[in-house]
């Protein structure tokens, strides 16, 4: 799918997949103090957004990214991995 939008010869295609357990996500959104002005729909809090996303993730056409789908695939399963992934992406961008 990425090839339809981002020509392999013109872009470095990087996917970052956040594979974080639902319990952790729910705890985060319930305790979020982030401003909700960013919402584009009729949502009043982040928990409503999470519930919609979880429901949509059950659709047959929604799948986790796979190796080979992009030039680089990073899977984050824990907050501790975020900084190292960011560093790797910055390093990739400097090499191209």
Overall size of the chain counted in residues: 96
pTM of the shown model: 0.72
Can you give the pLDDT at residue 1? 62
Distances in Å between the Cα of 32 and the Cα atoms of 23, 25, 62, 73, 87 are: 14, 10, 26, 28, 26
Q: Above 80 in pLDDT, residue 4?
A: no
Pairing of strands 72-76, 14-18: parallel
Q: Would you list the domain boundaries of the chain? A: 1-19+66-96, 21-63
pLDDT band at 96 (very low <50, low <70, confident <90, very high): low
pLDDT digits (tens, 9 = 90+) for 22-53: 899 999 899 989 888 888 888 888 999 999 98
């Amino acid at each position: 799918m990425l090839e339809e939008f981002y020509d392999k010869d013109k872009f470095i295609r990087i996917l970052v997949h956040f594979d974080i357990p639902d319990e952790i996500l729910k705890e985060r959104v319930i305790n979020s103090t982030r401003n909700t002005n960013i919402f584009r729909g009729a949502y009043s809090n982040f928990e409503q957004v999470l519930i919609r996303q979880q429901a949509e993730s059950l659709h047959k056409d929604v799948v986790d990214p796979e190796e080979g789908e992009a030039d680089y695939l990073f899977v984050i399963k824990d907050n501790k991995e975020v900084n190292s992934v960011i560093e790797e992406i910055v390093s990739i961008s400097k090499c191209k």
